[in-house]
Amino acid sequence: MSKYKIIVVVVFAFWAAWLPRPGLAQMAQGQYEEEAPVRTWNIFGPTGAAGLGLGETTFTQASDASVLFTNPALMTRLPRLAVSVSGSFQFASFFRYGPVNTGPVYTSGNAGLKITAADFAAVTVRVLGWRVGLGLALGEIYDRPPVEARSTQYTYLFSFKQAGYLRTLNLSLGREVAAGLSLGLGFNLVSGRWEWNLTDAWSGITISDIRTRSFKGYFFNGGLHWQASAGLSLAAAFRAPYQRKASSRSHLRYSAQAADILIQADGEDTFRQPLVLGLGLDWKLLDRLKLAGQVSYWNWSSYRASLFGEELTRDFRDVWKAGLGLEYMNWFRLFQQEFDLPSRIGLVYDPQPMNSPRSSYLNFSLGFGLQWKGVQLDLGTIIGAEKGSSWNLTANQIALTLTLSSGPKPAKG
């Protein structure tokens, strides 16, 4: 378990007011409210390494089978059969989260969290003129840096853990409905789990707070792709708003020699997810050089979170996220075989939805690929720095995606 140098200030009145009635002391945590995903609130779907390195541009890029999570119309731009698997390593820094720097526990600086994960596995296939896609993805991660503080002099222990995930199972259909124009629609089932475990013990007295949630829900996503010319394509994508529900349980316990008090509660939590709309373009500037760009609108002002029937305060605003990337396609011959070597670079502007503090990430991305016949291996990384909260948070990710395909890609134009 990771340990941080922590200055601990515990006032028992805090536990009496905050733990039994969490709604009465909601701290303005901003970036990392308890339901916030790691790195950014603006997660449309999993991004393959190629799209990650190209400024997180996914609406027009048919780089791998992850397109069914973002714009299933792009399945028509893939070979007859495409199978992709992807994993990543993420690092993010935290300052204010849970009980850390919001009341009982203070840190001397930011805490860091490292996560290695399998991001997605997806397959697309052409069947009777249709494109069918099936994929499973790790949609969101809710982990936080664990905290533990001990004092042998005062027989004191404070510990905090939060962990969780959201999975997405996607089934998509796509079809070319006119020359160069494709449409796609996806149905997504979500499921997952969230856990919170806090213990405060001193001099024979222990206060513990354990909470769990089991997520469920569904939503639709879709889009269109238009190959306007051999060198230009345009796209639009959407994710419909939906209600993410959770069966929740809370155990709050006070244990001492003179008393043992247990307060239990069960309830249904809800998290109303926002509408997301996006536009993208892919423009061939030179024979080997192309420009990719996209913008997405996030209706975060409609976001609502309710725990045990009590609506939480989330003062959110609508935001626009933008990404821009360049890809240069090189190649070489080895043993009479031709290999493609794409190189990618990009920038992403990623504003967070909180009205206060106003916060945004500026991300730099870089990526490389190796393609030979039906085998494609892509490596992408993104490095982000946050401004606005005064906490100087960082959010970094490196991803590796392998795609195996058979059959030629559709001709452009």
Residue 8 has pLDDT above 50, yes or no: no
Would you list the domain boundaries of the chain? 6-406
Sorting pLDDT into bands at 50, 70 and 90, what band is 316? Answer: very high
Rg (CA), the chain: 23
Mean model confidence pLDDT for the chain: 89
pLDDT of residue 29: 77
Mean pLDDT of 104-120: 91
Angle at the Cα of 29 (from 26 to 32), degrees rounded to 5?
120
Structure tokens at 269: 């939590």
CA–centroid distance for 231 within its chain: 31
* Residue appearing with tokens 């930011």: 110
| pLDDT, tens digit (0-9, with 9 covering 90-100), for 358-407 | 999 999 999 999 999 999 999 999 999 999 988 999 999 999 999 999 97
Pairing of strands 130-141, 147-151: unpaired
Residue 25 has pLDDT above 70, yes or no: no
What percent of the chain has pLDDT above 70?
91
Sorting pLDDT into bands at 50, 70 and 90, what band is 115? Answer: very high
Residue 277 has pLDDT above 50, yes or no: yes
pLDDT of residue 13: 31
Sorting pLDDT into bands at 50, 70 and 90, what band is 1? Answer: very low
Report cis status (omega within 30 of 0) of the bond before 72: no
CATH 3.20.20.210 holds for 6-406: no
- Global pTM reads 0.89
Q: Which amino acid does the sequence have at 124? A: T
pLDDT of residue 156: 81
Backbone φ and ψ for 299, nearest 5 degrees, come out as -85, 60
| Nearest residue to 275 via CA among 246, 296, 293, 306 | 296
